[in-house]
Every structure is written in C-alpha cells, then in structure tokens.
Structure 1
Amino acid sequence: MSAPDLGAGGQLPTGRELPGAKTRLAVEPGSAIYRGRVMHQRLQPLRHRLDYRMFSLLLDIDELPALDARLRWFSLGRFNLFSFRPTDHGDGNARDASALRALIDARLAQAGLPTGGRIRLLTMPRLLGYAFNPLSVWFCDGPDGELQAMVYEVNNTFDQRHSYLIEVAPAQRQAAVVEQCSDKQLYVSPFLGMAMHYRFRIEPPREHLSIGVSVHEGSQQAPGACVLNARLDALRAPLTDAALLRLLVTHPLLTLKVLVGIHWEALRLWLKGARLHQRPEPPDRALTVIRHNDTT
C-alpha cells in the first residue's frame, strides 16, 4: 500500500547524522507526526478486510520534557488535547519520562544489549484524555547510533499487555528494512488462537514509515499458513501546535474510533460464523526477549 501525499509544507524535524550509513537516509528524525493509513486483511478461514486513516506520534523519550514545554496542545503526564502518560507503556509503573527510559534501558540490559542510545516510541497519544494502542513500537538505538533492537508492545482489550524485545540482526542495523519474528505470547483476538507466530517487516522512521505484521499458524520452527496481514504506511510531518490542531479536525476521536472499530469488526466476523477461541491466562512474564539467531 502506498503512503498518501501530505502535500507541501513538510520539513525535516531535528534529526541525527548517521556517518557511514550508506543504505539509510543521512538524517533520521527525532519526534514527529506520522500520518497515513492502516490496513487489516484476514485471509482465513474467512476473508475480511478493512482500512482507515491513522496518525501516530514518534516520540524521542529524551525530548518529552522539551515537547511538553514547547507545545501548547501536547502535555506530558497531564490532560490536554493531546497527551502522553508514561504509565500507558512498559510495565505501567513509570511516572515520568526518565523512569520510562530507565525501564527500557533495563530491558535492553536484561537482553544483554548496551544502553544509553536514543530511544523512540511510535504510538497514538491520548486524545482528550483517552487512548488505546493495540500496538506501540519502540526503536532502540545503540550508543553507536545504529538501530539495535525493536520492542513491540501489544495491548489487548482485556487490559493486558505484553512486549516482544527483539535484537536487530547486525546486517540489518543500517538497512532500509528490518525483518523479525516471534511466537505469539498474548491473547489478542477471540478469532485467533495462541498457536501462532508474528512476522514483522519494518521500514524505520524517515520521511516514510512502514510497520507490517503478519500472523501465521504454528511456531517459527513449524510455520503454517498466513491468516492475517496488517500494515501501517505513513509520511512524516513536523510536530507543531498547528499540525496537532489539524489532526483534531482530520482525525476526530481517533483513539475511541479504534476501540469501537475493533468491537464492530469482531461482531461482523462473528456474524460471518468465525470460530471463537477461549481466552487463556496471560503469560507469567510481561516481556519476551529474542536475541539474534535465538528463537526461544
């Protein structure tokens, strides 16, 4: 799916030089808005498709206090038209940006990866105090500036969360596309069982961003057919007050629409005769860690 044209007026947000990177753009953005479309396509046992307009914020965790001070319509940890609460992410206990960064650094250290690099989060903010993020994606750089790990933070509608921290293969750390996979750990949809695995295809945030997730039957070691594809394609725009107000007009009550849309599509699938799967207990651990060449 091609990303829509945002028109004139876009500009590169403040970014970081990546010396020696030949297959990536010379500059990667810090905090920014990404506007585009999301597509969900169920392939079996029933075919079903939907797509809708979407926006996300890419937030450099270290920039959050400055964004809170600079932007009138965006706040950190308090109500506003758009807001970000650290407790909405990670283990739910981080009360400020520094605590949230410390949590991600601790998880990287748990995975045996170096800490201290830039950490960016792609997520939907709270809109008028409300948020629901089926998937938030963390981009974790190493101290050398290369993308060393991804964290896929999955939420379901039962107030449960699980994160998949996956090391980026060395050969992909300066590449245009990152491909990863993990066995499914958290119950998400009543129409999908647990004996499945995810395949992620990521085009890291530059002028264009793409997040692709496909759900396959079986484990990574014994893969089966693909049952669902989902993809976000979006283009970058500066994170400014004017841009936030435009989002309020073009994407009103988006977070509420996402949650209502999930239940509406579930009803449609049920009416089509889709099989329901019982919800198991959540996993004992809130984090799955996968190192390069590790499928455990």
Structure 2
Amino acid sequence: MKATPSPAATSALYEGWVMHRRVTPRHHRFKYRVFAMLLDLDELPALDRKLSLFAYNRGGLFSFQDRDHGDGQPLKTWLDGLLAQAGIEAKGRRRVLCYPRILGYVFNPLSVWFCDDEQGGLKAVIYEVHNTYEERHAYVLPAGEDEKLVRHGCPKQFYVSPFLSRDCRYQFRIRPPGDDIAVTIQEDEAGRPILNASFAGARKTLSDGALFRMLLRYPLMTLKVVAAIHFEAVRLMLKGVRRHPHAPKSVYSPAE
C-alpha cells in the first residue's frame, strides 16, 4: 500500500451514531452506526496520491467528487460566494464533514462545511442539505465566539421530506471537529420541537488501514442510508403521518 498522509493532516474519519427522533404527531425513532469523513479541500490531491483506497474526482473504493456538492462551480469559488453573501470573511482552510462515495455511490442528507480564518479560527459553518430530488440548499451561519459549541437558528427554506412541513424553524447545534464531533438539528413547528436529528462520532486517523476497517464494518453504508430513508418513510405512512407536496428548490439561506 502507499504511504499514509502526515499525522499533521487535518482530514480524518469519524465513526459513530446517527439518531432521528420524531415527537409529533406520532412518536418515531431510529438509530444506526455510520462513519463520515472530514476532508480538508487543500489536502484532497495529496490524499489521492498517498492513499490506495481513496480517490479524488475519479473512481475508487472510497472517493470524494466535487460534483456531489455545491452548484457546479469550483468548490472554493462556491464557498467564497456563499460567505460573501452572508457578509462573513473566512479565508483559511475549508473542511467538509460528509459521507464518501463507496464503490461510486453516495447520498449525503447533510454535509457540514467548516470555514476558518487565516489564523485557523472557525469563522463560519455551512449546512448543505440534500434531498432525494437531487436538490441542495445551503444554510450559512457565523461561528460566534464559543469555539466549543456553535448554536444557530433559522427558518426552514428547503423541502426535505414529504412528512415535514416547510413552515418550520431549525435549531442547529454543533461541537466542531476535535477528538470527537457532534452535530444536532432540532426542527420546530409553531414553537414546539417536532424532530431531532444528530450525528456523534469519535475521530480516527485517515489511513488505508482505517478505510479497510470501515469497509469491513460498513460495506454497504451509502446504500444503507438511502434504504433507511425509504424504510422509515413506509413506517411513517403506516402510522398515518400527513404528507406534504414537493416544493421548488432554493439554493442559499443567510444566517440570522
């Protein structure tokens, strides 16, 4: 195998749990193990060269493709545009927490972008939401002064699920990447919580050995994500949860 990247690399794996809990109009909960990758955009070419099991913008056992994110522009250009629209200056490293392609396939319900200033401080977080209609929407928020916990609220602007109204409000809470990571989204309707979704994981060094272990533990993970979405949709239908029609997409929401 090829040599693994330098220990100083900021890219990493995070292995942990995804949890969804709906509290109204019907109680509904599921939880399953997954892993995600934290990828520094500046490190992607080096990771492509140094790792045998990971590829950048080409086919591979595990891969990251620029076209799976953004709006078709180069990713840094897209991120710069979003940050400028939100009035946030963050000229440092750009990292994304997402699922990789496995054997060429991926679906990311949520990708989280961490945008730093030139001194390495976290300045902004961008939540890139994907739905099963191949649409994407970005919620852009300033990181604030608390480096250990970022909180933010904004109106929901994007159709995600037929079982959730767009007339809702998101409450985001995130513990930025370190030895562990936690991302929590609470969806409120009429001032009351209706859904909590979260991912919490522990950091693993990104190496060929670690990727091979992830393959053994989660060989069909990206397919499992989509299968779980449809399986849980059937369960919600059987519980009689109201369906909402698909609404047109939008591409950007500024922070409040």
Q: Does 1:209 align with 2:181?
A: yes
Q: Which residue of 2 aligns with 1:264?
A: 231
Tell me which amino acid in the other structure corresponds to 1:118: R
Structure 2: state its 5+ residue gaps. Answer: 1-5
Structure 1 range deviating more: 140-149 or 206-215: 140-149
Q: Does 1:114 align with 2:81?
A: no
Q: Which residue of 2 aligns with 1:230?
A: 197
CA RMSD of aligned residues (A): 1.3
User: CA separation in 1, counterparts of 2:32 and 2:90?
Assistant: 37
Give the deviation of 1:168 after TM superposition: 1.7
Tell me which amino acid in the other structure corresponds to 1:278: P
Q: Which residue of 2 aligns with 1:288?
A: 253
Q: Does 1:255 align with 2:222?
A: yes
Equivalences for residues 93-242 of structure 1 within 5 A: 93-94=72-73, 99-169=74-144, 171-172=145-146, 175-218=147-190, 224-242=191-209
Q: TM-score, normalised by structure 1?
A: 0.82
User: CA separation in 2, counterparts of 1:77 and 1:216?
Assistant: 38
- Residue 109 of structure 1 contacts residue 115 of structure 1 at CA under 8 Å; is this kept in 2? no
Tell me which amino acid in the other structure corresponds to 2:246: R
Residue number among 5, 8, 22 corresponding to 1:14 in the alignment: 8
Q: Does 1:274 align with 2:251?
A: no
Give the deviation of 1:107 after TM superposition: 2.0
Give the deviation of 1:105 after TM superposition: 2.0
Q: For 1:8-31, what per-residue CA distance to the aligned partner results, in whole angstroms no more than 9, with x for missing partners?
A: xxxx9426xxxxxxxxxxxxxx10
- Residue 82 of structure 1 contacts residue 127 of structure 1 at CA under 8 Å; is this kept in 2? yes
Structure 1 range deviating more: 271-280 or 104-113: 104-113
Q: Which residue of 2 aligns with 1:59?
A: 39
Q: Percent identity at matched positions? A: 47
User: CA separation in 2, counterparts of 1:199 and 1:150?
Assistant: 13
User: CA separation in 2, counterparts of 1:115 and 1:47?
Assistant: 41
Q: What secondary structure is seen at the aligned counterpart in 2 of 1:246? A: helix
Q: What secondary structure is seen at the aligned counterpart in 2 of 1:266? A: helix
Q: How many residues are aligned here?
A: 251
- Residue 211 of structure 1 contacts residue 231 of structure 1 at CA under 8 Å; is this kept in 2? yes
Give the deviation of 1:44 after TM superposition: 0.4
Q: For 1:77-98, what per-residue CA distance to the aligned partner results, in whole angstroms no more than 9, with x for missing partners?
A: 111110010010011x14xxxx
- Residue 13 of structure 1 contacts residue 32 of structure 1 at CA under 8 Å; is this kept in 2? no
User: CA separation in 2, counterparts of 1:68 and 1:202?
Assistant: 29
- Residue 13 of structure 1 contacts residue 31 of structure 1 at CA under 8 Å; is this kept in 2? no
Q: TM-score, normalised by structure 2?
A: 0.95
Structure 1: state its 5+ residue gaps. Answer: 1-11, 16-29, 219-223
User: CA separation in 2, counterparts of 1:101 and 1:205?
Assistant: 20
Tell me which amino acid in the other structure corresponds to 1:33: L
Structure 1 range deviating more: 198-207 or 103-112: 103-112
Q: Which residue of 1 aligns with 2:20?
A: 40
Which of structure 1's runs of 4+ aligned residues deviate more than 3 A? none
- Residue 114 of structure 1 contacts residue 143 of structure 1 at CA under 8 Å; is this kept in 2? no
Q: What secondary structure is seen at the aligned counterpart in 2 of 1:264? A: helix
Change (3 A) 1:254 1:183: same
Q: Which residue of 2 aligns with 1:89?
A: 69
